[in-house]
Amino acid sequence: MSSTDSTISVKPRGEGNAPPPYGRAVRGEFLLDPDFLIVNHGSFGAAPRSVLAAQDEWRRQLETSPTRFMNRVLTDALRHAAGRLAASMGASGDDLVFVDNATTGCNAVLRSLDLGPGDEILVTDHTYPAIRRTADYVAYRTGARVVVAEIPYPPRDAAAIVAAVAGALTPRTSLAILDHVTSPTALVMPLEALIAACRAVAATVLVDGAHAPGNIPLDLPALGTDWYVGNCHKWLMAPKGAGFLWASKPAQAAVHPATISLHYGEGFTPEFDWTGTRDPSACLAVTAALDFQDRLGGPALMQRNATLAQQAATLVAGRLGTESGTEPSLAAAMTTVRLPLAGPATQERALALAGRLLDDYRCDAPITAFAGALWLRLSAAAYNDIDDYAEVATRVAALLRSPA
Ligand SMILES: Cc1ncc(COP(=O)(O)O)c(C=O)c1O
Protein backbone atom coordinates (compact mmCIF):
# COMPACT_ATOMS: atom_id res chain seq x y z
CA MET A 1 0.00 0.00 0.00
CA SER A 2 1.40 3.39 -0.93
CA SER A 3 1.68 6.49 1.17
CA THR A 4 -1.06 7.91 -1.07
CA ASP A 5 -3.68 5.56 0.23
CA SER A 6 -3.44 6.66 3.83
CA THR A 7 -4.40 10.22 2.84
CA ILE A 8 -7.68 9.23 1.19
CA SER A 9 -10.83 8.45 3.07
CA VAL A 10 -12.70 5.67 1.33
CA LYS A 11 -15.98 4.06 2.34
CA PRO A 12 -16.61 1.01 0.19
CA ARG A 13 -20.12 -0.34 0.00
CA GLY A 14 -21.06 -2.88 2.64
CA GLU A 15 -17.61 -3.28 4.17
CA GLY A 16 -17.71 -0.92 7.13
CA ASN A 17 -14.89 1.60 7.07
CA ALA A 18 -12.11 -0.61 5.74
CA PRO A 19 -10.76 0.95 2.55
CA PRO A 20 -10.67 -1.36 -0.45
CA PRO A 21 -7.16 -2.34 -1.40
CA TYR A 22 -5.47 -0.47 -4.22
CA GLY A 23 -2.09 -0.48 -5.91
CA ARG A 24 0.09 -3.54 -5.40
CA ALA A 25 -2.62 -5.14 -3.29
CA VAL A 26 -4.89 -5.48 -6.35
CA ARG A 27 -2.31 -5.82 -9.12
CA GLY A 28 -2.62 -9.61 -9.04
CA GLU A 29 -6.25 -9.25 -10.08
CA PHE A 30 -4.99 -8.15 -13.50
CA LEU A 31 -2.96 -10.03 -16.08
CA LEU A 32 -0.43 -7.19 -16.31
CA ASP A 33 3.14 -8.24 -17.05
CA PRO A 34 5.20 -7.53 -13.89
CA ASP A 35 8.26 -6.91 -16.08
CA PHE A 36 6.70 -3.68 -17.33
CA LEU A 37 6.03 -0.49 -15.42
CA ILE A 38 2.56 0.36 -16.67
CA VAL A 39 1.31 3.88 -16.03
CA ASN A 40 -0.69 4.11 -19.25
CA HIS A 41 -4.12 2.88 -18.28
CA GLY A 42 -5.65 5.71 -20.33
CA SER A 43 -4.65 4.30 -23.69
CA PHE A 44 -6.20 0.84 -23.64
CA GLY A 45 -7.25 0.16 -20.05
CA ALA A 46 -6.74 -3.28 -18.52
CA ALA A 47 -9.51 -5.70 -17.60
CA PRO A 48 -9.32 -7.65 -14.33
CA ARG A 49 -9.41 -11.42 -14.33
CA SER A 50 -12.95 -11.53 -12.88
CA VAL A 51 -14.26 -9.44 -15.78
CA LEU A 52 -12.44 -11.55 -18.37
CA ALA A 53 -13.89 -14.66 -16.71
CA ALA A 54 -17.38 -13.19 -17.05
CA GLN A 55 -16.66 -12.48 -20.72
CA ASP A 56 -15.47 -16.10 -21.20
CA GLU A 57 -18.69 -17.33 -19.66
CA TRP A 58 -20.80 -15.28 -22.10
CA ARG A 59 -18.73 -16.62 -24.98
CA ARG A 60 -19.20 -20.17 -23.69
CA GLN A 61 -22.96 -19.70 -23.56
CA LEU A 62 -22.98 -18.36 -27.10
CA GLU A 63 -20.87 -21.17 -28.50
CA THR A 64 -22.85 -23.84 -26.62
CA SER A 65 -26.03 -23.00 -28.48
CA PRO A 66 -25.31 -20.37 -31.12
CA THR A 67 -28.73 -20.01 -32.71
CA ARG A 68 -30.63 -20.02 -29.44
CA PHE A 69 -28.23 -17.50 -27.93
CA MET A 70 -28.21 -15.12 -30.87
CA ASN A 71 -31.97 -15.32 -31.48
CA ARG A 72 -33.36 -15.74 -27.97
CA VAL A 73 -30.83 -14.51 -25.40
CA LEU A 74 -28.71 -11.78 -26.93
CA THR A 75 -31.09 -8.83 -27.20
CA ASP A 76 -32.40 -9.15 -23.65
CA ALA A 77 -28.87 -9.60 -22.31
CA LEU A 78 -27.64 -6.53 -24.20
CA ARG A 79 -30.60 -4.47 -23.00
CA HIS A 80 -29.92 -5.58 -19.41
CA ALA A 81 -26.25 -4.58 -19.68
CA ALA A 82 -27.21 -1.29 -21.36
CA GLY A 83 -29.64 -0.59 -18.52
CA ARG A 84 -27.01 -1.14 -15.84
CA LEU A 85 -24.38 0.89 -17.66
CA ALA A 86 -26.82 3.72 -18.32
CA ALA A 87 -27.98 3.74 -14.69
CA SER A 88 -24.36 4.18 -13.56
CA MET A 89 -24.37 7.43 -15.56
CA GLY A 90 -27.81 8.69 -14.48
CA ALA A 91 -29.39 7.59 -17.76
CA SER A 92 -31.97 5.17 -19.09
CA GLY A 93 -31.00 2.01 -20.96
CA ASP A 94 -33.48 2.91 -23.72
CA ASP A 95 -31.20 5.80 -24.66
CA LEU A 96 -27.96 3.83 -24.72
CA VAL A 97 -26.57 1.38 -27.27
CA PHE A 98 -23.33 -0.53 -27.37
CA VAL A 99 -20.75 0.08 -30.08
CA ASP A 100 -17.32 -1.51 -30.46
CA ASN A 101 -15.43 1.57 -29.30
CA ALA A 102 -15.49 5.36 -29.22
CA THR A 103 -14.31 5.62 -32.82
CA THR A 104 -17.26 3.54 -34.02
CA GLY A 105 -19.69 5.57 -31.93
CA CYS A 106 -18.40 8.90 -33.24
CA ASN A 107 -18.47 7.53 -36.79
CA ALA A 108 -22.11 6.54 -36.34
CA VAL A 109 -23.05 10.10 -35.41
CA LEU A 110 -20.82 11.95 -37.82
CA ARG A 111 -21.68 9.79 -40.81
CA SER A 112 -25.42 9.94 -40.13
CA LEU A 113 -25.83 13.69 -40.04
CA ASP A 114 -27.26 15.63 -42.90
CA LEU A 115 -24.46 18.13 -43.43
CA GLY A 116 -23.70 20.17 -46.52
CA PRO A 117 -21.81 23.13 -47.92
CA GLY A 118 -22.05 26.07 -45.54
CA ASP A 119 -22.15 23.83 -42.45
CA GLU A 120 -19.27 23.93 -40.01
CA ILE A 121 -18.06 21.08 -37.77
CA LEU A 122 -16.23 22.42 -34.75
CA VAL A 123 -13.36 20.42 -33.30
CA THR A 124 -10.47 21.54 -31.09
CA ASP A 125 -6.73 21.11 -31.45
CA HIS A 126 -7.00 18.61 -28.54
CA THR A 127 -9.51 16.39 -30.42
CA TYR A 128 -8.38 12.76 -30.68
CA PRO A 129 -6.80 12.26 -34.13
CA ALA A 130 -9.09 9.39 -35.21
CA ILE A 131 -12.15 11.54 -34.57
CA ARG A 132 -10.55 14.53 -36.29
CA ARG A 133 -9.93 12.32 -39.35
CA THR A 134 -13.56 11.20 -39.29
CA ALA A 135 -14.67 14.85 -39.23
CA ASP A 136 -12.31 15.58 -42.14
CA TYR A 137 -13.73 12.65 -44.09
CA VAL A 138 -17.33 13.73 -43.48
CA ALA A 139 -16.46 17.29 -44.46
CA TYR A 140 -14.85 16.02 -47.65
CA ARG A 141 -17.93 13.95 -48.50
CA THR A 142 -20.53 16.62 -47.70
CA GLY A 143 -18.86 19.94 -48.47
CA ALA A 144 -19.03 21.00 -44.82
CA ARG A 145 -16.00 22.72 -43.28
CA VAL A 146 -14.00 21.67 -40.22
CA VAL A 147 -13.23 24.59 -37.90
CA VAL A 148 -10.54 24.08 -35.25
CA ALA A 149 -10.79 25.91 -31.92
CA GLU A 150 -7.29 26.36 -30.55
CA ILE A 151 -7.22 25.88 -26.80
CA PRO A 152 -4.10 27.22 -25.08
CA TYR A 153 -2.05 24.60 -23.28
CA PRO A 154 -1.69 24.54 -20.39
CA PRO A 155 -4.89 26.55 -20.05
CA ARG A 156 -5.00 29.17 -17.28
CA ASP A 157 -8.44 28.01 -16.17
CA ALA A 158 -11.80 26.76 -17.44
CA ALA A 159 -12.72 30.23 -18.69
CA ALA A 160 -9.76 30.18 -21.10
CA ILE A 161 -11.09 26.95 -22.64
CA VAL A 162 -14.63 28.25 -22.92
CA ALA A 163 -13.40 31.49 -24.52
CA ALA A 164 -11.36 29.55 -27.11
CA VAL A 165 -14.30 27.36 -28.12
CA ALA A 166 -16.86 30.19 -28.03
CA GLY A 167 -14.57 32.23 -30.29
CA ALA A 168 -14.65 29.51 -32.96
CA LEU A 169 -18.43 28.96 -32.91
CA THR A 170 -20.47 30.71 -35.58
CA PRO A 171 -24.14 30.65 -36.66
CA ARG A 172 -23.00 28.10 -39.28
CA THR A 173 -21.67 25.65 -36.67
CA SER A 174 -23.88 22.67 -37.25
CA LEU A 175 -22.07 20.20 -35.00
CA ALA A 176 -19.54 20.69 -32.23
CA ILE A 177 -17.38 17.73 -31.22
CA LEU A 178 -16.25 18.22 -27.64
CA ASP A 179 -13.90 15.86 -25.83
CA HIS A 180 -14.84 15.30 -22.21
CA VAL A 181 -11.30 14.29 -21.22
CA THR A 182 -8.70 15.14 -23.85
CA SER A 183 -6.28 12.44 -24.93
CA PRO A 184 -3.00 14.29 -25.64
CA THR A 185 -3.34 16.75 -22.78
CA ALA A 186 -5.46 14.98 -20.12
CA LEU A 187 -7.77 17.96 -19.64
CA VAL A 188 -11.22 17.49 -18.14
CA MET A 189 -13.15 19.99 -20.21
CA PRO A 190 -15.70 22.37 -18.64
CA LEU A 191 -18.42 20.62 -20.58
CA GLU A 192 -21.51 22.32 -19.24
CA ALA A 193 -20.26 25.80 -20.14
CA LEU A 194 -19.02 24.57 -23.52
CA ILE A 195 -22.36 22.96 -24.34
CA ALA A 196 -24.17 26.14 -23.31
CA ALA A 197 -21.98 28.11 -25.72
CA CYS A 198 -22.82 25.65 -28.51
CA ARG A 199 -26.53 25.93 -27.77
CA ALA A 200 -26.27 29.70 -28.01
CA VAL A 201 -25.49 29.29 -31.74
CA ALA A 202 -27.97 26.40 -32.12
CA ALA A 203 -25.22 23.87 -32.79
CA THR A 204 -25.79 20.19 -32.07
CA VAL A 205 -23.21 18.57 -29.79
CA LEU A 206 -21.37 15.26 -29.86
CA VAL A 207 -19.32 14.62 -26.72
CA ASP A 208 -16.39 12.27 -27.12
CA GLY A 209 -16.20 10.80 -23.64
CA ALA A 210 -13.77 8.00 -24.49
CA HIS A 211 -11.88 8.60 -21.23
CA ALA A 212 -14.77 9.54 -18.97
CA PRO A 213 -16.74 6.46 -17.74
CA GLY A 214 -15.12 5.13 -14.59
CA ASN A 215 -12.79 8.14 -14.50
CA ILE A 216 -15.16 10.96 -13.55
CA PRO A 217 -18.71 10.83 -12.17
CA LEU A 218 -21.23 11.19 -15.00
CA ASP A 219 -24.83 12.31 -15.32
CA LEU A 220 -25.37 12.10 -19.07
CA PRO A 221 -28.90 13.59 -19.36
CA ALA A 222 -27.90 16.56 -17.18
CA LEU A 223 -25.12 17.55 -19.59
CA GLY A 224 -27.59 18.71 -22.23
CA THR A 225 -25.68 17.15 -25.12
CA ASP A 226 -27.30 15.46 -28.12
CA TRP A 227 -24.93 12.51 -28.28
CA TYR A 228 -22.37 11.12 -25.87
CA VAL A 229 -19.88 8.42 -26.84
CA GLY A 230 -17.79 6.52 -24.31
CA ASN A 231 -15.41 3.60 -23.94
CA CYS A 232 -15.91 0.96 -21.28
CA HIS A 233 -12.54 -0.71 -21.83
CA LYS A 234 -10.53 2.18 -20.43
CA TRP A 235 -11.48 3.37 -16.95
CA LEU A 236 -14.45 1.04 -16.45
CA MET A 237 -12.02 -1.87 -16.99
CA ALA A 238 -14.36 -3.82 -19.29
CA PRO A 239 -12.91 -6.01 -22.04
CA LYS A 240 -11.94 -4.44 -25.36
CA GLY A 241 -14.87 -4.16 -27.75
CA ALA A 242 -17.25 -2.40 -25.36
CA GLY A 243 -18.05 1.20 -26.15
CA PHE A 244 -21.39 2.99 -26.06
CA LEU A 245 -23.42 5.75 -27.64
CA TRP A 246 -26.00 7.62 -25.60
CA ALA A 247 -28.45 9.89 -27.41
CA SER A 248 -31.08 12.26 -26.09
CA LYS A 249 -34.56 11.19 -27.19
CA PRO A 250 -34.91 13.85 -29.92
CA ALA A 251 -31.43 13.09 -31.27
CA GLN A 252 -31.96 9.34 -31.68
CA ALA A 253 -33.82 9.23 -34.98
CA ALA A 254 -31.06 11.07 -36.84
CA VAL A 255 -28.41 8.48 -36.02
CA HIS A 256 -27.77 5.05 -37.49
CA PRO A 257 -24.92 2.60 -36.92
CA ALA A 258 -21.90 2.98 -39.19
CA THR A 259 -22.85 -0.54 -40.33
CA ILE A 260 -26.43 -0.76 -41.59
CA SER A 261 -28.01 -4.16 -40.98
CA LEU A 262 -31.26 -6.09 -40.53
CA HIS A 263 -33.12 -3.63 -38.33
CA TYR A 264 -32.58 -0.43 -40.27
CA GLY A 265 -35.55 1.86 -39.77
CA GLU A 266 -36.83 0.03 -36.66
CA GLY A 267 -35.46 2.51 -34.13
CA PHE A 268 -32.37 3.43 -32.15
CA THR A 269 -31.82 0.34 -29.99
CA PRO A 270 -32.85 -2.36 -32.53
CA GLU A 271 -30.56 -0.86 -35.18
CA PHE A 272 -27.52 -0.79 -32.92
CA ASP A 273 -28.23 -4.04 -31.04
CA TRP A 274 -27.75 -5.97 -34.27
CA THR A 275 -25.06 -4.83 -36.72
CA GLY A 276 -24.37 -8.28 -38.13
CA THR A 277 -22.97 -11.36 -36.42
CA ARG A 278 -20.30 -10.35 -33.96
CA ASP A 279 -18.90 -11.36 -30.57
CA PRO A 280 -21.01 -9.48 -27.99
CA SER A 281 -19.18 -10.90 -24.95
CA ALA A 282 -17.23 -7.70 -24.18
CA CYS A 283 -20.44 -5.64 -23.99
CA LEU A 284 -22.20 -8.29 -21.91
CA ALA A 285 -19.26 -8.36 -19.47
CA VAL A 286 -19.74 -4.65 -18.75
CA THR A 287 -21.98 -5.66 -15.84
CA ALA A 288 -19.03 -7.56 -14.32
CA ALA A 289 -16.85 -4.48 -14.86
CA LEU A 290 -19.44 -2.35 -13.03
CA ASP A 291 -19.40 -4.90 -10.18
CA PHE A 292 -15.60 -4.69 -10.01
CA GLN A 293 -15.73 -0.88 -9.93
CA ASP A 294 -18.28 -1.04 -7.12
CA ARG A 295 -16.09 -3.44 -5.17
CA LEU A 296 -13.19 -1.01 -5.48
CA GLY A 297 -15.29 1.84 -4.17
CA GLY A 298 -16.87 3.38 -7.31
CA PRO A 299 -16.62 7.15 -6.85
CA ALA A 300 -14.00 6.63 -4.12
CA LEU A 301 -11.79 4.84 -6.65
CA MET A 302 -12.17 7.77 -9.05
CA GLN A 303 -11.22 10.21 -6.31
CA ARG A 304 -8.28 8.07 -5.24
CA ASN A 305 -6.99 7.83 -8.82
CA ALA A 306 -7.35 11.59 -9.38
CA THR A 307 -5.40 12.32 -6.20
CA LEU A 308 -2.72 9.81 -7.12
CA ALA A 309 -2.39 11.31 -10.63
CA GLN A 310 -1.74 14.75 -9.11
CA GLN A 311 0.82 13.36 -6.70
CA ALA A 312 2.44 11.51 -9.59
CA ALA A 313 2.73 14.69 -11.67
CA THR A 314 4.25 16.62 -8.77
CA LEU A 315 6.74 13.84 -8.08
CA VAL A 316 7.84 13.30 -11.70
CA ALA A 317 7.98 17.00 -12.57
CA GLY A 318 10.06 17.61 -9.43
CA ARG A 319 12.48 14.83 -10.31
CA LEU A 320 12.82 16.00 -13.94
CA GLY A 321 13.09 19.65 -12.95
CA THR A 322 10.11 20.74 -15.05
CA GLU A 323 6.43 21.36 -14.45
CA SER A 324 3.11 19.61 -14.78
CA GLY A 325 0.74 20.76 -17.52
CA THR A 326 -2.20 19.79 -15.37
CA GLU A 327 -4.26 22.25 -13.40
CA PRO A 328 -5.91 20.12 -10.67
CA SER A 329 -9.35 21.66 -11.18
CA LEU A 330 -9.24 20.49 -14.83
CA ALA A 331 -8.01 16.95 -14.24
CA ALA A 332 -8.96 13.43 -13.19
CA ALA A 333 -6.90 10.24 -13.30
CA MET A 334 -4.39 11.50 -15.88
CA THR A 335 -1.82 14.27 -15.71
CA THR A 336 1.00 15.51 -17.91
CA VAL A 337 4.60 16.48 -17.21
CA ARG A 338 6.78 18.49 -19.58
CA LEU A 339 9.98 16.75 -20.62
CA PRO A 340 13.14 18.84 -20.16
CA LEU A 341 14.19 18.69 -23.79
CA ALA A 342 15.40 21.33 -26.19
CA GLY A 343 15.03 20.84 -29.93
CA PRO A 344 12.07 19.99 -32.09
CA ALA A 345 8.79 19.20 -30.31
CA THR A 346 7.44 17.00 -33.08
CA GLN A 347 5.07 14.06 -32.90
CA GLU A 348 7.70 11.87 -34.62
CA ARG A 349 10.18 12.61 -31.86
CA ALA A 350 7.52 12.04 -29.21
CA LEU A 351 6.63 8.64 -30.66
CA ALA A 352 10.28 7.63 -30.97
CA LEU A 353 10.92 8.54 -27.32
CA ALA A 354 7.82 6.70 -26.09
CA GLY A 355 8.86 3.69 -28.16
CA ARG A 356 12.32 3.63 -26.57
CA LEU A 357 10.84 4.15 -23.12
CA LEU A 358 8.66 1.08 -23.69
CA ASP A 359 11.18 -1.17 -25.44
CA ASP A 360 14.45 -0.26 -23.73
CA TYR A 361 13.22 0.87 -20.29
CA ARG A 362 10.08 -1.27 -19.99
CA CYS A 363 8.04 1.73 -19.02
CA ASP A 364 4.63 2.24 -20.64
CA ALA A 365 3.71 5.93 -20.69
CA PRO A 366 2.77 7.93 -23.80
CA ILE A 367 4.64 11.04 -24.89
CA THR A 368 2.97 13.74 -27.00
CA ALA A 369 4.12 16.85 -28.79
CA PHE A 370 1.85 19.74 -27.88
CA ALA A 371 2.14 23.53 -27.78
CA GLY A 372 5.85 23.51 -28.58
CA ALA A 373 6.87 20.97 -25.94
CA LEU A 374 6.99 17.23 -25.33
CA TRP A 375 4.71 15.93 -22.57
CA LEU A 376 4.71 12.67 -20.68
CA ARG A 377 1.18 11.52 -19.80
CA LEU A 378 0.74 9.70 -16.50
CA SER A 379 -2.31 7.57 -15.76
CA ALA A 380 -3.25 6.53 -12.24
CA ALA A 381 -5.27 3.32 -12.19
CA ALA A 382 -6.46 1.08 -9.36
CA TYR A 383 -3.33 -1.05 -9.65
CA ASN A 384 -0.83 1.87 -9.51
CA ASP A 385 1.00 3.14 -6.41
CA ILE A 386 2.96 6.32 -5.86
CA ASP A 387 6.13 4.17 -5.98
CA ASP A 388 5.40 3.49 -9.65
CA TYR A 389 5.90 7.15 -10.49
CA ALA A 390 9.20 7.41 -8.61
CA GLU A 391 10.35 4.58 -10.84
CA VAL A 392 8.91 6.31 -13.92
CA ALA A 393 10.98 9.39 -13.10
CA THR A 394 14.12 7.25 -12.80
CA ARG A 395 13.54 5.50 -16.12
CA VAL A 396 12.55 8.66 -18.01
CA ALA A 397 15.62 10.45 -16.67
CA ALA A 398 17.77 7.55 -17.89
CA LEU A 399 16.07 7.68 -21.29
CA LEU A 400 16.71 11.41 -21.61
CA ARG A 401 20.39 10.96 -20.68
CA SER A 402 20.98 8.26 -23.26
CA PRO A 403 21.64 9.21 -26.87
CA ALA A 404 18.92 8.27 -29.38
C1 LIG B 1 -10.58 11.22 -26.61
C2 LIG B 1 -10.54 9.93 -27.37
N3 LIG B 1 -11.45 9.70 -28.31
C4 LIG B 1 -11.49 8.56 -29.01
C5 LIG B 1 -10.57 7.58 -28.78
C6 LIG B 1 -10.62 6.34 -29.60
O7 LIG B 1 -10.90 5.24 -28.82
P8 LIG B 1 -11.02 3.82 -29.52
O9 LIG B 1 -9.71 3.54 -30.17
O10 LIG B 1 -11.33 2.88 -28.43
O11 LIG B 1 -12.11 3.93 -30.52
C12 LIG B 1 -9.59 7.75 -27.82
C13 LIG B 1 -8.58 6.73 -27.55
O14 LIG B 1 -7.74 6.81 -26.71
C15 LIG B 1 -9.57 8.97 -27.10
O16 LIG B 1 -8.63 9.21 -26.17
How far apart are the C-alpha atoms of 197 and 370, rounded to whole Å?
A: 25
| Amino acid (1-letter code) at residue 267 | G
Measured in Å, residue 252 CA sits from the centre of ligand 1 at 22
Tabulate helix, strand, coil % of the chain (nearest 5).
Answer: 45, 15, 40
Q: Using the predicted structure, report yes or no on whether residue 2 has a pLDDT greater than 50.
A: no
pTM of the model: 0.95
Higher-confidence residue of 11 and 61: namely 61
Name the β-bridge partners of 335.
Answer: 378
Domain made up of 3-30+297-401: CATH architecture: Alpha-Beta Complex (3.90)
Measured in Å, residue 230 CA sits from the centre of ligand 1 at 9
Measured in Å, residue 226 CA sits from the centre of ligand 1 at 19
- Parse the chain into domains and list their residue ranges: 3-30+297-401, 52-292
Q: Using the predicted structure, report yes or no on whether residue 18 has a pLDDT greater than 90.
A: no
pLDDT band at 12 (very low <50, low <70, confident <90, very high): very low
Measured in Å, residue 8 CA sits from the centre of ligand 1 at 30
Q: Choose which residue among 128, 180, 208, 240 to substitute to test ligand 1 binding: the one with the highest number of ligand atoms within 8 A of its C-beta.
A: 128
Share of the chain above pLDDT 90, in %: 94
pLDDT tens, position by position, 70-124: 999 999 999 999 999 999 999 999 999 999 999 999 999 999 999 999 999 999 9
Closest Cα to atom 14, ligand 1: which residue? Answer: 43
Q: Using the predicted structure, report yes or no on whether residue 330 has a pLDDT greater than 70.
A: yes
Domain made up of 52-292: CATH architecture: 3-Layer(aba) Sandwich (3.40)
How far apart are the C-alpha atoms of 75 and 97, rounded to whole Å?
A: 11
pLDDT tens, position by position, 146-163: 999 999 999 999 999 999
What integer is the mean pLDDT of 380-404?
A: 96
The binding-site residues of ligand 1, defined as CB within 6 angstroms of any ligand atom, are 43, 101-103, 128, 130-131, 179, 183, 208, 210-211, 231
Q: Which atom of ligand 1 is nearest to the CA of 102?
A: 11
Measured in Å, residue 3 CA sits from the centre of ligand 1 at 32
Exposure string for 110-139, b = 16+ CB within 10 A, e = fewer: bbbbebeeebbbbbbbbbbeebbebbeebb
What integer is the mean pLDDT of 56-62?
A: 98
Measured in Å, residue 89 CA sits from the centre of ligand 1 at 19
pLDDT tens, position by position, 294-314: 999 999 999 999 999 999 999
Q: What is the pLDDT of residue 20?
A: 77
How many residues appear in the chain?
404
pLDDT tens, position by position, 206-264: 999 999 999 999 999 999 999 999 999 999 999 999 999 999 999 999 999 999 999 99
Q: What is the pLDDT of residue 218?
A: 98
